[in-house]
Amino acid sequence: MEKLARRESLGREDLESLVKLALDEAMQRGVDQAEAAASHDTGLSATARLGDVENLEYTNDRGIGITVYKNSCKGSASTSDFSPAAVREAVAKACTFAEVTASDKYAGLADAELMCTDIKDLNLDHPWSIEAGRAIELAIDAEAAALGFDKRISNSEGATVSTNRGSRAYGNSHGFMGSFSRTSHSITCIVLAESDGVMQRDYDYTATRDPEDLRDAAGVGERAARRVINRLGARKIETTRAPVLYVPDIARGFIGHAIGAISGGAQYRRSSFLLDAIGDKIFPDFVNIQERPHLEKGMASAPYDAEGVATYDREIVTDGILQGYILSSYSARRLGLTTTANAGGAQNLVVPGGGKDKASLIREMGTGFLVEELIGQGVNGVTGDYSRGAVGQWIENGEVQFPVHEVTIAGNLRDLYPRIVAIGDDQDIRGGIRCGSLLVEEMTIAGA
């Protein structure tokens, strides 16, 4: 066990051994329940700017956390030192904290019968054995493709190639022990363009579990360049009300506000604009939101949640009607419900489209605002008030007319969600919410 503390690379079995050590120590100290999680992440990130190396970073992060419960009191501690003495000290600290915290009848492990018994291989682990030199070359290629695209592209914030591999083990005193590894890789490029003394900035990126699925570096640079060129000559518009079309990577955030509002924490704290909304019609009939935690290579796939509960497919919204919340065991107990295997968040939310892509929805919209970037926060999760700075394109007669900046789109999400009139099938699969282009019938657009 002492060797694990000094080893640079730790496997799943090593992490499981550390978790077992922590659990055994906790139970020997007389706690009622205990859980522990150990993780190890390694990664490489290379950034090039203006054809030269700007940053090269190697990461090697590790840690173990232990939580104990005694007489409905909870104590937690963590350490990045994997020596047995340090792990035992962390357990002792957790036990000490449990002696001085207030009793909480809802605290404790998830029910034993809900533990995952079939830990599926979801094809999440695809290491990229890329050397630093090759990562730098790819970053330079991405940036060069962008800078060479158009003479109006005058500067760059750089291109970055990143790779990460992480392993995590979790166990608890129910006898559950599980571990899996997953990778993530990305290529990003950010450039600036200038016209008539006004500069614009835009970016593109590709992100996958498997490096074989990444788009080529030059293609990322070219798309970043095309996006920033399309912003040149941006204008303000008069304040108006008009249809708004979100591109897929922005649409997933628009849906994400609803997911935050139906989280268990927001519900039991009574701080949600979708309070007690199970059974309510939130969206139009054609909108469905599905949770699919077992998608192979999915960016939010997991065989079990952060409490060891087996994940499963479920329907969160069906025909526009909310079917259930996003619950951990704690929030479920607070609400008198059962956990939905969402300790740690939702896993792969899928919003099916209606067979159209962005270009089709632009034609369908006729006249309106295509949103390509949002600025600022401006979302009140309690009231549903929504106000975001926005950048994009003005559409007339189903065609792009000119870029738009310095406007604000606003409304209340409770009112905006029923006004969704179409969702495309051009899903962005780079994150945990898979949604296509999304068209809202009408919003306030505050301009000049």
292, with CB counted inside 10 A (0-12, 13-18, 19+), is middle
Domain end marker among 196, 229, 262: 229
Specify the pTM: 0.94
Is position 246 within any domain? yes
pLDDT (average), residues 252-262: 97
Q: Is the pLDDT of residue 98 over 70?
A: yes
Is position 333 within any domain? yes
Residues 13 and 37 occupy one common structural domain: yes
DSSP assignment of 329-344 = HHHHHHHTS---S-TT
Is position 287 within any domain? yes
Q: Is the pLDDT of residue 376 over 90?
A: no
Structure tokens at 185: 């890789």
**Sign of CA pseudo-dihedral 341, 342, 344, 347:** positive
Neighbours of 13 (CB within 10 A): 10
Question: Beta strands of 276-324 (E only): which ranges?
Answer: 289-291, 314-318, 321-322
How far is residue 73 from each of residues 95, 103, 344, 382, measured CA to CA in Å? 10, 5, 21, 30
Is position 169 within any domain? yes
Residues 191 and 339 occupy one common structural domain: no
Residues 93 and 125 occupy one common structural domain: yes
Domain end marker among 165, 198, 229: 229
Position of tokens 């927001």?
266
The count of structural domains within the chain is 2
Q: Do 35 and 25 contact (CB within 8 A), yes or no?
A: no
Structure tokens at 80: 């990045």
Q: How high does pLDDT run on average in the chain?
A: 96
Q: What is the DSSP letter of 14?
A: H
Q: What are phi and psi of 366, to 5 degrees?
A: 80, -80
Structure tokens at 71: 């007489």
**Which amino acid, 321?**
I
Secondary structure class of 167 (helix, strand, coil): strand
Neighbours of 151 (CB within 10 A): 8
Structure tokens at 311: 């994940």
Percent of the chain with pLDDT over 90: 95
CATH of the domain at 221: 3.30.2290.10
**Which amino acid, 335?**
L
pLDDT at 293: 98
Report the C-alpha dihedral over residues 234, 235, 240, 245, rounded to 10 degrees: -10
Angle between helices 84-100 and 12-28 (to 10 degrees): 50
Residues 300 and 410 occupy one common structural domain: yes
User: Which domain range does residue 52 map to?
Assistant: 2-229
Secondary structure class of 93 (helix, strand, coil): helix
pLDDT at 310: 98
Q: Which helix (H) or strand (E) holds 184?
A: strand 177-195
For 388-425, the pLDDT digits (tens) are: 999 999 999 999 999 999 999 999 999 999 999 999 99
Position of tokens 């189903």?
398
Beta bridge mates, 314? 291
pLDDT at 355: 86
pLDDT (average), residues 203-220: 98
Can you count the helices (H) and strands (E) in the chain?
10, 17
- Using CA atoms, how far apart are residues 77 and 368, in angstroms rounded to an integer? 53
Q: Do 326 and 263 contact (CB within 8 A), yes or no?
A: yes
Residues 23 and 118 occupy one common structural domain: yes
Residues 221 and 244 occupy one common structural domain: no
Q: Is the pLDDT of residue 382 over 70?
A: yes
Residues 113 and 253 occupy one common structural domain: no
Position of tokens 């990664």?
43
Beta bridge mates, 396? 399
Residues 202 and 281 occupy one common structural domain: no
Q: What are phi and psi of 307, to 5 degrees?
A: -115, 5
- Using CA atoms, how far apart are residues 301 and 346, in angstroms rounded to an integer? 9
Q: Is the pLDDT of residue 265 over 80?
A: yes
Q: Is the pLDDT of residue 443 over 80?
A: yes
- Using CA atoms, how far apart are residues 76 and 71, in angstroms rounded to an integer? 15
Structure tokens at 121: 């291989």
Which are the contacts of 131, defined by CB distance < 8 A and separation ≥ 6?
none
Is position 285 within any domain? yes
Report the greatest alpha carbon distance in the chain: 73
Domain end marker among 229, 255, 276: 229
Residues 59 and 143 occupy one common structural domain: yes
Q: Do 441 and 356 contact (CB within 8 A), yes or no?
A: no
Q: Is the pLDDT of residue 6 over 60?
A: no
Residues 185 and 266 occupy one common structural domain: no
Question: Beta strands of 196-336 (E only): which ranges?
Answer: 198-208, 240-246, 289-291, 314-318, 321-322
Confidence of residue 196 (pLDDT cuts 50, 70, 90): confident
Residues 195 and 259 occupy one common structural domain: no
Is position 235 within any domain? no
Residues 39 and 175 occupy one common structural domain: yes
Is position 234 within any domain? no
Q: Is the pLDDT of residue 2 over 80?
A: no
Question: Beta strands of 71-152 (E only): which ranges?
Answer: 73-79
Is position 73 within any domain? yes
pLDDT at 8: 59
Secondary structure class of 91 (helix, strand, coil): helix
